[in-house]
């Protein structure tokens, strides 16, 4: 996999220049997951950000009553776990491979070190992360309204 080309296709990194993509590609590692394997589990500390390139994953959350709720299904081009990279909080949901899945992983500590030395990249990513947060909030607000 050409990491730079793959990163350029991910919405979070699509507006970055070649030099920035090359720097991020240098710290990204490829990971493969078999169907049924967890990429991340709710409540655990996160190791980093996952970018999906092949396969599909399900996002699941256990609600306060202990019921497992499927929130979404994601596929190639989607990113997962970006919030943990920025705030260090435990994972808010689990992600399980719905089929064999290939992704790139950016370890939190390496990505944060990169962002500290490349402030222009951090500033370019901020609006995209905020937009994703807003979309998630709106989706959750809609779910809560349906339950009421």
**Span 58-88, pLDDT tens digits:** 999 988 888 988 888 999 988 888 777 777 7
Q: Measure the CA–CA gap between 74 and 129, rounded to whole angstroms.
A: 17
Give me the CATH topology for the region 3-147: Jelly Rolls (2.60.120)
pTM of the model: 0.79
Question: pLDDT digits over 5-53, tens only?
Answer: 888 888 788 888 999 999 999 999 999 999 999 999 998 887 888 999 8
Q: Measure the CA–CA gap between 82 and 33, rounded to whole angstroms.
A: 19
Is a pLDDT exceeding 90 seen at residue 131? no
Q: Measure the CA–CA gap between 57 and 100, rounded to whole angstroms.
A: 9
Give me 94's structure tokens: 């689990």
């Amino acid at each position: 996999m050409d990491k730079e080309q793959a990163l350029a296709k991910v919405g979070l990194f699509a507006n970055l220049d070649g030099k920035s993509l090359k720097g991020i590609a240098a710290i990204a590692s490829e990971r493969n997951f078999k169907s049924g394997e967890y990429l991340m589990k709710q409540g655990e500390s996160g190791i980093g950000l996952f970018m999906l390139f092949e396969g599909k994953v399900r996002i699941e959350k256990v609600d306060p009553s202990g019921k497992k709720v499927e929130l979404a299904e994601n596929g190639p081009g989607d990113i997962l776990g970006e919030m943990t990279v920025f705030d260090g909080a435990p994972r808010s949901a689990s992600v399980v491979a719905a089929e064999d899945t290939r992704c790139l992983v950016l370890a939190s500590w390496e990505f944060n070190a990169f962002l500290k030395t490349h402030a222009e990249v951090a500033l370019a990513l901020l609006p995209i992360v905020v937009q994703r947060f807003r979309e998630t909030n709106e989706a959750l607000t809609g779910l809560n309204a349906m339950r009421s």
